[in-house]
Amino acid sequence: MNWGQWLLVSILLSSFIPGIIIFGVPEEKHRLRTGLNLCGSILKIVLILAMDTGIYFGHNFEIRLPLIPGVELLLNGDPLSALFATLSSVLWLLTTIYAVGYLEGSPNRSHFFGYFSLCVTVTIGIALAGNLITFLLFYEMLTLTTYPLIIHRGTEKSLHAGRNYLIYAFSGGAVFLFAVVALQTIIGPTDFATTGFPSSFIDTHATVLAVIFVLLIIGVGVKAALVPLHGWLPQAMVAPAPVSALLHAVAVVKAGAFGIIRIVLDVYGAQNLLLLGVLPLLGGIASITILYGSIRALQQDDLKRRLAFSTISQVSYIALGISLVDQPLAVIGGLVHLVHQGLMKITLFFCAGNLAETLGIHRISEMDGVARRMPFTMAAFSIGALGMIGIPPTVGFVSKWYLGLGGLAAGNWWVVLILAVSSLLNACYFLPILTRSWFGKQQGPWPEELYVGRFETRLMLLTPPLVTAFIVIAAGAVANAQISPLAWVRFIVRKYGL
């Protein structure tokens, strides 16, 4: 093994080993557990940054493990995986800090953090997966590792949500498996690195390949919460806030979106898909999801549920961008939204968690004047929300801008229409929250004031959202700089030669 392969393995191990150790850490050894978690996550960021640097300078990271003929596990570091891996690792660090603060004093923490670490390992695995089988492996493991987190509270409601989550996720996984096998029977084993199969297959197997594409998208669409496969997501809100944050911003939903990107860009390739003519289907579903999620979000009074429906809507921007695969600008918009949506949504969920944990606020109708009690939290929330609406200079605008440009370049004016309507709807469900909390008058005492202290809430709960909110603005403000998510996405798109 060369150093590159060691790097890939140690990236995975840097959270896997702490996770395994944490399972054995006694409940009361709080410091040890936190230390392990933080060391692991910081080490992982360092390693991933090393990998990013390597990738930028053209180094090829690859490690293979053949299982049986035609089936091999392949980890591969390419610019796209670097994007997702970096996002996950950075947000993991923040979420860990947040979770430590959030779960202070609650039972079963070793269990929680153990699965938490495994979950991130698996997410990074998805990022690094170099072929469909490896992707499938981590994709299924993601379901397994997130399930205990969703039902962590152990209530009947959470069990019910967990069951639905499993049914959705595994059904998606099963469809995906079926499609992967079918694809492999036709085109043989392929790596993501090959970027699309020879178009001669299109001549012979056009219909089958189109059907397989649809099946693959259904498989990953469950996690990406494309309508009508989104049912599990709002229910999964019963999980603790850090978990929701992780599910929505980093792990599950993003894994699905990332899968769509991989399938479109790497498995099929732009040319083949254009020949097959199935992309409008993806774009259409994505558009419907964007609108449907926003409209449903409007009706929610529960803050986390509203955020959940907002996720459904926002994640489909990625799919929408990718569906215009022949337009580099649209692809840039889709890809960069992967990062941007994660940053914004994690901020929102952190803040929602802070409200619940500090004042017992779960509903929007209870939020009047809350910004006066928790100004920093609400400031972060506002930044996240404005980002979602797409107000410059937040990152949300950058994504929408590129998506719109790409849509026009493809001659699809409806993309711009969808963006406009969705922005309006986003404003309709986010701005009232902001005005209520900042300018509303407090109605009676808070539902359940759990924390009174020097700061508005525990410092470990307050810092992560502030950091992510700062990134939301900063990453937007320096979008065009040499080092920014957008710059990296441009690098990716250049690599694909679009």
Binding residues for other proteins restricted to 159-198, rule: CB under 8 A: 159, 162-163, 166-167, 170-171, 173-175, 177-178, 181-182, 184-185
17's CB contacts (< 8 A; 6+ apart) are 40
Q: Which of 63, 263, 419, 492 lies at the binding interface for other proteins (CB under 8 A)? A: 419
**First-to-last C-alpha distance (Å) of the chain:** 33
Beta strands in 9-70 (DSSP E): 61-68
C-beta of 420 vs 459, nearer to other proteins: 420
C-beta of 77 vs 476, nearer to other proteins: 476
State the number of CA atoms in the 13 A half-sphere of 58 facing the CB: 1
Per rule CB under 8 A, is residue 431 in the interface with other proteins?
Answer: yes
Site for other proteins in 209-238 (CB under 8 A): none
Q: Which of 295, 360, 447, 451 lies at the binding interface for other proteins (CB under 8 A)? A: 295
345's CB contacts (< 8 A; 6+ apart) are 245, 248, 249, 307, 310, 311, 314, 384, 388
Q: Which of 53, 60, 106, 299 lies at the binding interface for other proteins (CB under 8 A)? A: 299
Per rule CB under 8 A, is residue 200 in the interface with other proteins?
Answer: no
Q: Residue 314 CB, nearest distance to other proteins (Å)?
A: 16
Per rule CB under 8 A, is residue 408 in the interface with other proteins?
Answer: yes
Spatial CA neighbour of 193 closest among 100, 112, 128: 128
Cα distance between residue 288 and residue 281, in whole Å: 11
374's CB contacts (< 8 A; 6+ apart) are 354, 355, 358, 359, 456, 457
C-beta of 408 vs 460, nearer to other proteins: 408
**What type of residue is 377?**
T
Per rule CB under 8 A, is residue 132 in the interface with other proteins?
Answer: no
CB atoms within 10 A of CB 494: 11
Q: How many residues bind other proteins (CB under 8 A)?
A: 78
Q: Which of 35, 107, 198, 277 lies at the binding interface for other proteins (CB under 8 A)? A: 107
Per rule CB under 8 A, is residue 435 in the interface with other proteins?
Answer: yes
Cα distance between residue 461 and residue 104, in whole Å: 10
For residue 76, the surrounding DSSP H or E stretch is strand 71-77
Per rule CB under 8 A, is residue 480 in the interface with other proteins?
Answer: yes
Spatial CA neighbour of 126 closest among 83, 168, 178: 83
Site for other proteins in 247-276 (CB under 8 A): none
Per rule CB under 8 A, is residue 439 in the interface with other proteins?
Answer: yes
Per rule CB under 8 A, is residue 390 in the interface with other proteins?
Answer: yes
Window of 36-44, 50-58, 74-82, 474-482 that interacts with other proteins by CB under 8 A: 474-482
